[in-house]
Amino acid sequence: MQDKNLSNQQTKKKSKSLPSGIVIRLGKYVWTTLWQIMMSNLAPRNKSGEYIRPATQFRNSISTEAGNPYQPEAGRYRLYVGLGCPWAHRTLVVRSLKGLEDTIPVSIVSPSPNEGIWVINQEEEGCRTLPELYNLAQPSYKGRCTVPVLWDMQTKTIVNNESAEIIVMLNSQFNEFATNPTLDLYPEELREQIDRWNEKIYHAVNNGVYRCGFAQTQVAYDKACNELFATLDEIDAALEISRYLCGDRVTLADVRLFTTLFRFDIVYYGLFKCNRKRIQDYKNLGAYLRDLYQLPGVADTCDLESVKRDYYGNLFPLNPGGIIPCGPDVTSLLEPHHRESIGLGVSG
């Protein structure tokens, strides 16, 4: 009888240690409401709960065209990048592949978890934060302050903040200063094919992982997730017979895909709920990722710890505890990829 009474007392104590139903429902209501408010600011949505990425607003070009105020010059322009950001990472990859490190300096910005803005690691142009830099360029600016930023140090303004356009300029407009000027990542004869891949990959993969992670309804998430993995399956099949997306040479299409693939198993698989399959689980995509990572200079642009810190440590609505995972080990990206003979009529 004593054992039974003791067991009952332990059960009662255990029950009292759990929150009551009303506390659970209240907590869920409060958290869901706060989550929706924070997500609406972090990730604009449509009526279906789908994430809608705002358009960038600075869209000028650097070129040698007569009358263009932004002429190619060494040491005139600066890139502001966040090491965790895949869009900014594109610019670092092209800068490295082209050999423009001595031509275009880089300034690092880091996200502030409390302010919700990018902070410049070392004050420049009298600015401590990226919004201050944007307002220096355009005092009336009211839009989102994002990276990358291609900054003109001569006129103290933003030339461009659209990564897709910046990498085209880096590829073609600074060849006289580049240490690898013959590399053309956007050749005329492949542009139509590159553009087709870019359009498909941007919607379903580059932005698709965000559409999964920032979805605010189950329907929106399911749609984005299905499109993401259908496209990854399509890419994996294409890479069965082609070393790179457009044949046997690296192009801007590969660069744009690479920065998402590098982050996929590290962040998007778990934090963004893209967990149907890892990139390393794909027959061809995993080896393709290793192939790109091992190109000269590319690994130096990849900062695993910044990626984890910027996503897990700063996206509070997705990871309220702010706990940053200890893995994964990316040394596997240095393993042989065996893709040298793909598409050459020799078995890989």
For the annotated catalytic residues, the residue numbers are: 85, 210
| CA distance to 100, 123, 306, per residue, from 108 (Å) | 17, 10, 11
Helix locations, 66-117, DSSP H: 86-98
Residue whose tokens read 């605010």: 216
- 115 burial class (0-12, 13-18, 19+ CB within 10 angstroms)? exposed
Q: Which long-range contacts (CB under 8 A, 24 or more apart) does 25-28 make?
A: none
Which of 316, 347, 322 has its CA nearest to residue 31? 316
Pairing of strands 118-124, 127-129: antiparallel
Radius of gyration of the CA atoms of the chain, in A: 23
Sequential DSSP letters for 83-97: TT-HHHHHHHHHHHH
